[in-house]
A and B are shown apart, each in its own frame.
Chain A
Amino acid sequence: MSAGTAALSPPRTDGPGPVLEVTGLSISFSEGRRRRDVVHDIDLAVAPGRCVAVVGESGSGKSVTARALLGLAGRTARVHAERLSVAGADLRNADERAWRRVRGASAGLVLQDALVSLDPLRTIGREIADPLRIHLRMPPAEARARALELLELVGMPHPALAIDRRSGELSGGMRQRALIAAALALDPPLLIADEPTTALDVGVQARVLGLLEEARDRGTGVLLISHDLAVVSRVADHVVVLHDGRVVEQGPAAEILGAPRHPITRALIAAVPTDVPRGEALSRAAAADPEPPVAPSAPSADGTAAAGGRRPVEAAPAEAPPMSADPRVARDAEAPVLEGFGLAKSFGSGATAVHAVADASFRLHRGRTLGLVGESGSGKSTLARLVLGLTPPDAGEVRLDGGAWSTLVERDRRPLRPRIGAVYQDALGSFDPRWSVRRILRDALGAARMPASDAAVAALLEQVHLSPELAARHPLALSGGQRQRVAIARALAGSPGILVCDEPVSALDATVQARVLDLFDELQRKHGLAILLISHDLGVIRHMSDTIAVMRSGRIIEQGDADRVFTSPQHEATAALIRDSPRLVPRAPGTNR
């Protein structure tokens, strides 16, 4: 039953039977005396050489489904299925021994973020050799040789060196390769990949997806779990849309992504910002339709699910109508509100110095958005800190409204600070853990010397479409989207002309992200805000920006009008970034290379 020692070479000649067959799968968790149902009556089937994607937002039950297929849903989980077979083995009443025979041999698992998915204290060689040792009792030397082959198969640079490294010593892409190599060690007929590319830079993401495609083309059945429709559209043959633990729609990828029927699927697709023109709403009713408050009794770490999941049902746009006519005018002739000249910042000294930002210049105009994009470690966040006056530049200068900013001493800069609002990726971490929403907003109003009345707090909340009742809440009791809205309200407290947003939506679910992006658009239109938007997500940047700056190794390698940069990138790295960014383009049916 195990795949045995078969080499990974030619397409598998397994029978045509599916490698995974699930019908009527339900999963519930016991919490104290109560039971919580998370997955209801799911059907799934994966054929050899095909890729099935399960998509849904956080809380939809997709990850727990993936784990349940390997009997790893956890002690408190109760899993029931009418039919559950992996590579022909019936696992409905499997005991631990039977599950262990399946794990690693019939089905491999690839988890998100290999930094924590590989044991940081063991070399990747030993991690990859694990299935060989466990299932085949292969002697260590032989297993090591095989691990080396596997590393070559997944395209690991310098496999002979890498094999003795631990996950902490490898880059994100190399770690993910090692994790995939471990999952493929016994060439299992089924590969389950749970968000395998989330948090990776687009270039690495593209290569990891390439590995999954290769495995699929060799005949492995791939079950891909993802929240990212653009990723799914690239590799999946078949798409299953999960919502609140139920399948709301499934079918061939081209059909689901090209002509979605269910409102939830439509909302998910509409929320993908890539290729949606600037100014067009991603969610129909962001303006009129605040997120419903979550019950204060259930503050969960991923409260986003409550707000983010339910919404699309009610607010399913058939076609997102454009918002009111764009009142923005070209203001490039006006003086910029924020300007950077030849900014540089390095950390450390001598040979080990890291030049986080080198010779960066930019201009930001009233009512416009400058999108700053780049891979992790490219210096985006350091540039944001320079702009916010949190760290002084080694060279160059930031000027605010034509006057001095970065050259001021902090005492003189402080009165000007309300002119720039900041929004961070981790909204919760940016709130004092002891403070309520009201206290957070009052404090911000006070800092800007505004009257810190309850009415002013309510007005701020209204601006970001939150109910004033939320003022009494603690941020922990809010959903992810609500927290980010509070953070935006705080940034608006001083009526700033400029917003600096560092990855403001990358921790949010797609539909929540869509509404927050729409809110930025709306606020910009209303107040003529100049926005410096920093993101690793090219789709977000393109949808939101008037001008774009591409950063790489601390330098701005390309800068210009958004459309120009996208249509005719001047720099090779920009072109690669655009090419590697997954776009929502369903594969035509039958193109199973």
Chain B
Amino acid sequence: MSDLELSNRAVSGRALPRPPRVGTMLALAFVAYLIVATAWPAVLQPYDPDAIAPRDAFDPPSPAHWFGTDESGRDVYSRVVEGTAASLLIGVSATAIGLALGLLLGALAGLGGRVLDFAVGRVNEVLFAFPGILLALLIIVLWGPGPVTATIAVGLSTAPGYARIIRGELVRVRGSSYVEAARVLGHGRGRVLLRHILPNALAPITVLATLGIGQAVVWASALSYLGLGAQPPAAEWGAMLAAGRTYITTAWWLTVFPGLMIVLTTITTTVLGRVLAARDGAAR
């Protein structure tokens, strides 16, 4: 739940403390791991993620199978590595959709004058009344389940939060004394917008995107877990969790390890997001 309100604080300069150096290094190491797992999964996989070995089904974690095996005897660790690409793709795409829409709404509200600001504010208020994944559920019931719908649904659900933050930044920068100073120097509207307002107001987007990916991965896997996103036997983390649900009392490792990857991804994006926010904060 690396969330909107925290990102809001991180962005607005009342930043949360910069994580310790060790934390940053660990987070960067995990990012490197995720990149390798996405681009060259085979490097990290001890087994073929799809190789079925019924005799080895439900092996608990052991030196041979770090994360144990599933109901068909497939190596869970290899499947978790295999699922990285799909899970991150969903997370990144959802964040991109949410940010793009949030940018559009935020810019309309923050730059478009009083009427637009009011209108976008009301739209946002309405969208905030669908807390958490409810908006996503609504979208899925209309368009039907599946990974694409889930991605779009998560993206749309996060957009109002982004819109609010971006609007706030635009309004803050617009009222700053350096923007006034630029006007006094005789710069025109367009130049002030391009040289001062946009670069300063949109600087936190990297922070938002970083924090947002973790959140999107969690929400998307929650939908998969509920059977509304990616479906088993796809090696996506949420789908693996959903498949493991059935065996929760007998084979805990089927759910615990894919979930651990999600938790680590979220912590990593939170830590890196805060590092970026602290760096931004120091520069202003």
Contacts and interface: CB of A to CB of B under 8 A. Distances in A.
Given A432-B200, A434-B199, A424 B283 contact: no
B177 A418 contact: no
B181 to A, nearest CB: 4
Interface of B, helix, strand, loop or mixed by DSSP: helix
A433 B284 contact: yes
B169 to A, nearest CB: 13
Interface stretch (A39-47, A126-134, A255-263, A442-450): A442-450
B186 A415 contact: yes
A141 to B, nearest CB: 39
B200 A448 contact: no
A418 B185 contact: yes
Contacts of A426: 177
Nearest to B178: A432
A490 B259 CA distance: 56
A429 B188 contact: no
A390 B180 contact: yes
Contact of B177 (A416, A417, A424): A424
A388 interface: yes
Range class of the B interface residue count: 10 to 19
A425 to B, nearest CB: 9
A516 to B, nearest CB: 18
Contacts of A429: 176-178
Contacts of A418: 185-186
B199 A448 contact: no
Interface string B79-111: 000000000000000000000000000000000
A415 B187 CA distance: 9
Nearest to B180: A390
A362 interface: no
Interface in B163-217: 176-178, 180-188, 195-196, 199-200, 203
Contacts of B183: 390
Interface residues of A, number: 25
Contact of A417 (B185, B195, B284): B185
B186 A432 contact: no
A124 to B, nearest CB: 27
B185 A431 contact: no
B283 A494 contact: no
A354 to B, nearest CB: 19
A490 B185 CA distance: 9
Contacts of B284: 433
Contacts of A443: 182, 185, 187, 195
Interface string B37-48: 000000000000
Contacts of B178: 429-433
Contacts of B196: 432
Interface string A428-460: 011111100000000110011000000000000
B196 to A, nearest CB: 6
Contacts of B195: 432, 443
B183 to A, nearest CB: 7
Contacts of B182: 432, 443, 447
A429 B13 CA distance: 14
A373 interface: no
Nearest to B191: A447
Contact of B184 (A422, A432, A476): A422
A426, A447, A494 — which one has the most chain B CB atoms within 10 A of its CB?
A447
Interface in A362-421: 388, 390, 414-418, 420
A216 B203 CA distance: 54
B184 A388 contact: yes
A381 to B, nearest CB: 12
A433 B184 contact: no
A336 B178 CA distance: 29
Interface of B: 176-178, 180-188, 195-196, 199-200, 203, 283-284
Interface of A: 388, 390, 414-418, 420, 422, 424, 426, 429-434, 443-444, 447-448, 476, 490, 493-494
12 contacts: A414-B187, A416-B186, A418-B186, A426-B177, A429-B177, A430-B181, A432-B195, A434-B200, A447-B185, A448-B185, A476-B283, A493-B185
Given A415-B186, A416-B186, 7 more contacts: A424-B181, A429-B177, A430-B177, A430-B181, A443-B182, A444-B185, A448-B186
**CB-CB nearest 3 A-B residue pairs:** A417-B186, A433-B284, A447-B185
